[in-house]
């Protein structure tokens, strides 16, 4: 299935970039093709300085070769040969009223024949509109429920645990779904796993762009923009300190520019910054924690 999966991921990158360009209405993606010295390569697509999107990336890769010993041990692989392909997306909007988002879908094939999928979608709003977060989670649940009723609660909890900043004791945003190492089983074939991953990917554009279109025209103040930069700082902290994908990419000698495209163009760190009690910023912080039942939020 390797070629089929790779072709579909590349097609998904093309379709998603077209959707994002249409939503922005001004900026266009620029493509940067690259080759990995150990084998394979990819196409990094970046949009910058748009009317809606200050910076965003939709990256495709298909790489193969031999994993460094440390990476192979981390994945518990006796054979270091590998093939990996996927699409990774991070969008940093201009307006603090439009959430940051991240999604990725990926396929990994080990030298011993083991193969699996991973991926997910999560949302990082700057100011939290609970109704919109509920919609976001309801859409993810509906996609998961088409395949397995257990998927959404399991993958939602996984996202809460994964997108957590221990040194801040807060989540990166309001979560979503996250899954890894979805291997075939006696009950579920690799083809069925792939169908689920395709459905997750296809749900991203209509779900996220619905939120973008609701918020992109709202006015914002310099204070609200500064809060956005502070929250972007938290995003940077997670990606550089905690994110396993970033570490894996750098350890396997991936393309640095593509790996770090997830970072925003601007971010801020204020010493001991605490929002005023009762402020919208303080209210947002109460939502950045684990185990909130967003689907049934009142």
- From the DSSP assignment, how many helices (H) and strands (E) are in the chain? 9, 9
pLDDT at 245: 81
- pLDDT tens sequence for the chain (298 residues): 899 999 999 999 999 999 999 999 999 999 999 998 888 999 999 999 999 999 999 999 999 888 767 776 777 676 778 899 999 999 999 999 999 999 999 999 888 888 999 999 999 999 999 999 999 999 999 999 999 999 999 999 999 999 999 999 999 999 999 999 999 999 999 999 999 999 999 999 999 999 999 999 999 999 999 999 999 999 999 999 998 888 877 877 778 888 888 999 999 999 999 999 999 999 999 999 999 999 998 7
Q: Residue 39 region, left (φ>0) first, then alpha (ψ -120 to 50), else beta?
A: left
* Helix, strand, or coil (residue 105): strand
Please provide the CATH number assigned to the domain covering 2-285: 3.40.1500.10
Question: How much is the pLDDT for 72?
Answer: 66
Q: What is the pTM of this model?
A: 0.94
Give 161's contacts (C-beta < 8 A, 6+ positions apart): 290
pLDDT in the model for residue 249: 79
Q: What is the predicted pLDDT for the residue at 256? A: 86
Nearest-angstrom CA–CA distance, 289 and 100: 17
Q: Measured between alpha carbons, how far is 297 from 121 in angstroms, rounded to an integer?
A: 19
> Could you state, in order of their start, the residue ranges of all structural domains in the chain?
2-285
CB 29 within 8 A of CB 13: no
pLDDT of 244 = 84
Query: Residue 76 has what pLDDT?
Result: 64
Q: Which two tokens stand for residue 86?
A: 């996927």
What are the Cα distances from residue 232, in Å, to 18, 278, 280? Answer: 25, 22, 17
How many C-alpha atoms does 272 have within 13 Å on its Cβ side? Answer: 0
Query: What per-residue confidence (pLDDT) applies to 81?
Result: 84
Spatial distance between the Cα atoms of 127 and 66, rounded to a whole number of angstroms: 43
CA–CA distance from 91 to each of 6, 67, 104, 125 (Å)? 23, 29, 12, 12
Residue-level pLDDT at 210: 98
Q: Are 71 and 248 in contact (CB under 8 A)?
A: yes
| CB contact at 8 A, 124 and 99 | yes
Q: Which residues contact 6 (CB under 8 A, 6 or more apart)?
A: 62, 85, 107
Q: Which residues are catalytic?
A: 102
Q: Are 202 and 103 in contact (CB under 8 A)?
A: no
């Amino acid at each position: 299935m390797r070629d089929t999966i790779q072709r579909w991921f590349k097609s998904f990158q093309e379709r998603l970039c077209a959707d994002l360009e249409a939503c922005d209405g001004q900026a266009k993606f620029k493509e940067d093709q690259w080759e990995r010295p150990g084998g394979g390569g990819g196409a990094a697509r970046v949009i910058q300085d748009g009317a809606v999107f200050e910076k965003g990336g939709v990256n495709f890769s298909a790489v193969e070769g031999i994993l460094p010993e440390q990476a192979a041990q981390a994945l518990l692989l006796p054979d270091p040969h590998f093939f990996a392909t996927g699409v990774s997306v991070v969008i940093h909007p201009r307006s603090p009223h439009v959430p940051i988002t991240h999604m990725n879908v990926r396929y990994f094939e080990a030298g011993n024949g083991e193969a699996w999928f991973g991926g997910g979608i999560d949302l990082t709003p700057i100011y939290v509109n609970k109704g919109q977060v509920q919609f976001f989670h309801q859409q993810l649940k509906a996609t998961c429920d088409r395949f397995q009723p257990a998927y959404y609660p399991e993958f939602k909890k996984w996202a809460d645990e994964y997108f957590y900043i221990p040194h801040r004791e807060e989540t990166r945003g309001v979560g979503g779904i996250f899954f890894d190492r979805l291997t075939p089983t006696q009950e579920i074939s690799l083809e069925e796993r792939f169908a689920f991953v395709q459905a997750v990917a296809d749900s991203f554009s209509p779900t996220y762009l619905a939120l973008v279109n609701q918020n992109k025209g709202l006015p914002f103040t310099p204070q609200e923009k500064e809060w956005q930069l502070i929250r972007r700082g938290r995003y940077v902290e997670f990606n550089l300190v905690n994110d396993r994908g970033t570490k894996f990419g750098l350890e396997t000698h991936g393309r640095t520019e593509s790996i770090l495209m997830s970072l925003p163009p601007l971010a801020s760190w204020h010493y001991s910054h605490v929002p005023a009690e009762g402020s919208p910023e303080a209210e947002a912080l109460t939502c950045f924690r684990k185990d909130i039942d967003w689907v049934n939020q009142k």
